[in-house]
Amino acid sequence: MMKQDIKDVMFTKEEIDAKVRELAKEINEHYQNRSKDLVVIGILKGANVFLADLIRQLDLPVYIDFMAVSSYGTSTKSSGVVKIMKDLDLEIENRDVLIVEDIIDTGLTLKYLTQNLNTRNANSIKICTLLNKEYRRMAEIPVDFIGFEIPDEFIVGYGIDFAEQYRNLPYIATLKEEVYQE
């Protein structure tokens, strides 16, 4: 049933795997000899698949934690009002932090999140995203590690959902408009 909702495959499993390896190499080089206390924070729920694949490629000691934040509610567009649904369990004071996101769109959620985390006295806060929609940015945020730049399409797969479905697709695809505009 899910396959009939797909318009086009944007990135295959193989393309995603190669990009994850490339990002992990950049991250390994950046943090080499720098951090004994790297905390990798996955933003739930979308980034969990990407985070799992990424950390298996890291040749660094890492701590893993998750945050759940929402600015979408049940809409397909960000409201700009950010709500923390699940906060960190780990302390990040005096540690390097790497935020892992599935997709960055307006940047409003990440701007709020980085401001919030900055108050916790981390050594550094860097951002890694698999997908980036730079032209949709409404908030200035530095993104340190970027997988793919993507057009303004409604996408699903590889952890990214529509109405809590399609996360289990091994690729990233565009969704037919009639599916999300019903």
* Annotation: CATH topology of 13-155: Rossmann fold (3.40.50)
CA 84 and chain centroid, separation: 16
Nearest to 21 by CA among 101, 122, 178, 130: 130
pLDDT at 137: 87
Q: Dihedral sign, CA of 53, 56, 57, 58?
A: positive
Catalytic residues, by residue number, are: 105
Nearest to 63 by CA among 27, 44, 89: 89
pLDDT at 35: 61
Nearest to 174 by CA among 44, 5, 48, 16: 5
Tens-digit pLDDT string for the chain (182 aa): 578 899 999 999 999 999 999 999 999 999 988 767 799 999 999 999 999 999 999 999 999 999 998 765 544 555 567 789 999 999 999 999 999 999 998 898 899 999 999 999 999 999 999 999 988 888 889 999 999 999 988 899 999 999 899 999 999 999 998 888 86
pTM to 2 decimal places: 0.91
Q: Are 115 and 88 in contact (CB under 8 A)?
A: no
Q: Would you tell me how many other CB atoms lie within 10 Å of the CB of residue 36?
A: 10
CA 80 and chain centroid, separation: 17
Total H helices, total E strands in the chain: 4, 9
pLDDT at 180: 84
pLDDT at 14: 98
